Structures are given as structure tokens and as C-alpha cells.
Chains A and B, each alone.
Chain A
Amino acid sequence: MHEAAIAGEIKDILLSKLKEYGKRRVTAVKLEFGELTSVVPEALKFALESAAEGTPLAGMRTGVKIIRSKAKCGKCKRTFRVNDLNYICDKCYSTDVSVIAGREMTVKTVEME
């Protein structure tokens, strides 16, 4: 369900790119998601396929890359991966932690013809 909602937004972006570049159809797209977005690549590809049906996106290849999360401790300045949703520094146990990577949802590149 989450993936279907995101697929709808991706579809809008791709259709507007076709218009912008005066092309007929999208043949490939590369996407990046941070691991904290909980996006499941297979579910997203399936949702995109359904959203693409009957549009100039039908049949495009979809690449999904998942980016590791990174958080920074405000106290000891260490950076670490957020594990099991634990927003606590694994070195000094401070809760003064800010997420610097892992929430991305990006269309990286598009191929059109």
C-alpha cells in the first residue's frame, strides 16, 4: 500500500520528464531509497508496473537501490547505522541523535526514447 502511494508520485515525475524532454516513452528508471523508509524493492517494482500499465511508462526497467541509514551522535559526534529503530548512540548511549541518511526517496536517472 505504502509502495503504491509512492509509485503514484514516481509516475507523475516520469510523465513530466517525458513532456519536458519531448520524448515518447520511458525505457528505464533508477531509484534510491533510504532503509528507514521501509520501502520493499519488490513491492515497489510491482506497484510501478501496475501504475505504468497503459501509459508511456509501460515496460520500463526499474532499478531500486537501498541506502544504509546513518545517524550522528550529538554528544560524542560518532556516526553509526540505525539498527532495529534504536535511535541511541551505540558508543556513549546518548539519545541526542540525528538521522543524516536513510530517509531518502529519489528518482536518480531516467532513460527515454
Chain B
Amino acid sequence: MAEIKVFESIMNRNNALAEKNKKLLKGALVINLMSSPGAGKTSLLEKSLKSLSKKYRTGVIEGDIATSNDADRIKRHLSPSSVYQIKTENYGGGCHLDSKMIAKAVKAIKADKKPYDIIIIENVGNLICPADFYLGEDKKVVMLSVTEGDDKPLKYPGMFAAADLVILSKTDLLKHLDFSLKKAEKYIRKVNKKTLILNMSVKKNEGMKQWLGIMGEWVKRKRALF
């Protein structure tokens, strides 16, 4: 029985399809938004879309194991044809999104035909697997809510090491908790020297202006490449 040399990177197929998806999306800024469940990804999107959709042609791809609850929330703020819900239970109940699912979503919101400025992919709530699966995004945004514990960046280093922006969310709750912003920042820096870090309370509007500013800058930079 012959042993065949393969030397194939396990993520090759996913990454190749991700690059193909990226090409279809042309000049659109693609954001991969990740966090554990309940950190506030959908709330952040709901709040941001009010301003973003006035200025930019925006599309949202939602990922969950089951239900279309999140897409339903987003559709209140965005044309329903620009919103797509991936249910990973249809792909075996995956705990993350992969490029195959994104390829389908891109077609569903017609991002291969009509131009978008921003596409936001809200990944399945999970700090582990989504970090391994590149989706063709330009930027990875990781949210960590202050109710989760400030040492999470050390416990899930893969996720935080890959981030371009870490949002520390729900800061309005800090007064009730032992969470230390200083420690969280120190731990993020331990695994990622380059990421931006932003404190945010969607409820109290803290950090929203900066977040929209960062997105605007990223859109500009992406456009300049096309």
C-alpha cells in the first residue's frame, strides 16, 4: 500500500474559495464580526446601520446555528434584499461560517452583480472556530463584552491575535462588575501588538462615533485599491 505525499494545508480549500468570493465583491469593504454569543454584535449592527446605510450601500450576512432572528432584526434597518441569514444547521450545525456558505450568501444579496460599499458578516457566536476560517474579509473585528471577564484574550488567543479591531462592549455595565479595562487591554496587547482597541456602549452611544470613523477610513482605503 503506497503512501501518497499530499502536503496540503488543511485550510487551503476554504481560503481559495474565500479569495474567489473576495474578487466577486470587488471594492466593497468586507468585515468579519466575531465574538462569543451575546456580546452585542447584532445590537451594534442595528445601531450602526442607521448611519451607515445613509452614507454607504451596505449588506449584512448573518450567521447562526438556527433561527433567522438576527436577520429579521437587521431587516428593520436595511432593505431586505441586502440581508441574508445563513443557518449553519443546514450545513451540519457548524459553529462557524466558512467560504462555501459565504459564496451562497454573496449570490443571495446579489453582491456579485450590484455594487456594495460595505458588507458586514456577523459570524456565529464563538471565540474559537471562526478564527480558523478566513472568509475573504478585509478586516476582522472582535467584540468582548465586559460581562465576560477580562482574561478572555489569553484564553482564546487565536481569535484576539487575528483582530484588526477589538471592541470592549457594554461598558455601561462596568460599575456593576469586576472587569478591568486596563487588564483586558494588557491581555489583548500580549497576543496582538497591532490591533485597534475601542471601548463601547451601544446603549449609551459611547464609542459609536469612533467606530463609524474607523469604518469610514477602512472604506476609503479599500476604494483606493480599485
Contacts and interface: CB of A to CB of B under 8 A. Distances in A.
Contact of A1 (B9, B95, B158): B95
A2 B128 contact: yes
Nearest to A5: B129
B13 A13 contact: yes
A14 to B, nearest CB: 9
Contacts of A67: none
Contacts of B132: 2, 5-6, 37, 105
Contacts of B7: 106-108
Contacts of B14: 9
Interface in A56-113: 85-87, 95, 104-113
A100 B166 CA distance: 24
Interface in A16-47: 17, 21, 27-28, 31, 36-38
Contacts of B1: 27, 111-113
A107 to B, nearest CB: 5
Contact of A17 (B6, B94, B154): B6
Interface residues of A, number: 32
A86 B4 contact: no
A21 to B, nearest CB: 7
Nearest to B95: A1
A10 interface: yes
Interface in B83-137: 92, 94-96, 126, 128-129, 132-133
Given A9-B14, A12-B13, A85 B190 contact: yes
B149 interface: no
B2 A111 contact: yes
A113 B11 CA distance: 25
A85 B129 contact: no
B10 interface: yes
Contact of A111 (B4, B126, B133, B190): B4
26 contacts: A2-B128, A4-B95, A5-B94, A5-B96, A8-B92, A8-B94, A10-B10, A13-B13, A17-B6, A21-B4, A28-B3, A31-B10, A36-B158, A85-B154, A87-B190, A87-B191, A106-B10, A107-B7, A107-B8, A108-B5, A108-B6, A109-B3, A109-B4, A109-B5, A111-B1, A111-B3
- Which 5 pairs show the lowest CB-CB distances between chains A and B? A105-B10, A5-B129, A2-B128, A107-B6, A109-B3
Interface of A: 1-2, 4-6, 8-10, 12-13, 17, 21, 27-28, 31, 36-38, 85-87, 95, 104-113
